Amino acid sequence: MENQQIIGIIGTGSGTGVTHFAIMTAGYYHGILGKRCALLEWNSHEDFSRLHRICSRRELDRSGAFRLLGTDYYGKAGTDALLLCKRSGYHTVIVDYGTVSEGNLREFLRCDRQFVVGSVCEWQIGAFLEFAGDRKRGKKSWELFTVFGSEEARKNMEKNLGSPIWRIPVSVDALEITGQLIQFYQQIL
């Protein structure tokens, strides 16, 4: 499909908010921009299976996907699901790669846009700084995001890296797009 965009999202550690951010991003693309959107879970967390059990009354389709609020969710996804989505007329395909340690970095780097989610909390900032440091050395083109940690730590890390780190607005419900989230996405997309 012409103008199709593949967005990869990966975390520098567990619990940084990758899946929450991926669901919010898909919600913005479909609910606000009116784009046909697919969301792939390319990790072993099985969060989409739990989401399907709780939020969807429909059976999985032939490809193992389910639709929720206009977005098609593909759990246990991989190359086959991505190729299917590329041929299926989606405007945007968002891929939740889980964490860097899960070995999905090569696939993540093939995406049109690469979003890295880390935490600037004291116990997680080391992993974020180490991974994001590769970008500073000009090796990668990813964009950096955080939800957790102090504003002072985020600003210090931005200064150290010479690169912006976007603060994802706190959202208690990943399926709800608020005015604050709309403003955030208008800045980054």
> 188: how many CB neighbours lie within 10 A of its CB?
14
Query: What does pLDDT average to over the chain?
Result: 92
The structure's pTM equals: 0.93
The answer to whether the CB of 155 falls within 8 A of the CB of 149 is: no
109 vs 59 pLDDT, higher one: 109
pLDDT mean over 142-146: 94
- The pLDDT of residue 113 is above 90: yes
Confidence of residue 160 (pLDDT cuts 50, 70, 90): confident
Distance CA 50, CA 153 (A): 34
Backbone angles phi, psi at 98, to 5 degrees: 75, -130
- The pLDDT of residue 133 is above 90: no
pLDDT at position 60 is 81
Where would I find the H helices in 10-166? Answer: 18-27, 47-55, 79-87, 105-108, 125-136, 151-161
Number of structural domains found in the chain:
1
Give the domain range for residue 171: 5-188
- The pLDDT of residue 79 is above 60: yes
Confidence of residue 2 (pLDDT cuts 50, 70, 90): low
Tell which residue, 32, 20, 153, 19, has the closest CA to residue 96: 19
pLDDT at position 140 is 63
Q: What residues contact residue 28 under an 8 Å CB cut-off, 6+ apart? A: 177, 181, 182, 185, 189
Handedness of CA 172, 175, 178, 181 (dihedral sign): positive
Residue with tokens 């709800």: 176
> What does the pLDDT look like over 5-28, one tens digit per residue?
999 999 999 999 999 999 999 999
pLDDT mean over 33-50: 94
CATH of the domain at 108: 3.40.50.300
Percent of the chain with pLDDT strictly greater than 90 = 80
pLDDT at position 1 is 46
Q: In what order do the strands lie in the sheet with 37-41?
A: 65-68, 71-74, 37-41, 92-99, 5-11, 113-118, 143-146, 165-167
Where would I find the H helices in the chain? Answer: 18-27, 47-55, 79-87, 105-108, 125-136, 151-161, 179-188
